Structure 1
Amino acid sequence: EPFAHDHLAANLNPVGRVYYAASTFVCTPASVSQEVGLALGAQAGEARLRKVVTGGGFKRLRRAAETPFNMVLEARP
């Protein structure tokens, strides 16, 4: 996932702004077109992603790796 903090103010930096712009044109419309339609976009943050993943039946989620630009989340049953 693109690296994002859980709160908007923490994401207002040059990289976060690029991710929000791309998310507006690509991620959010794609999400809205799906049955569930959460429209999370690319800057949901780990806390919100955790809710989605555990809501999908996964029991364990951990941040496996991160860079200033991306985070890798590992989900396990």
Structure 2
Amino acid sequence: TLVGQDYSGFAEGTLTVEASVTDVAGNTATSSDTIVKDTLADISVDFDGFGDEYYNSAEVSNGALVGTVTNV
């Protein structure tokens, strides 16, 4: 686990972490793992235009704006 670090400089997407250690006897062990950095939220917005997909002045002023945010 890597905590207390600033990872803001890493790009979005798949990141690979690799480690290699050698003990006093000369034995080497390596390991790697991948993680996904995804700090972008999925946002969807729908405007209720009363079903006809056209918006007149009455619909715009009385319509409902509905949306969701996920992966936050």
Per the normalisation by structure 1, the TM-score is 0.20
The structure whose Rg is larger is 2
- Structure with the greater relative contact order (CA < 8 A, sep ≥ 6): 1 or 2? 1
Name whichever structure is richer in strand by fraction.
2
| Bigger helix share | 1
Normalising by structure 2, what TM-score?
A: 0.21
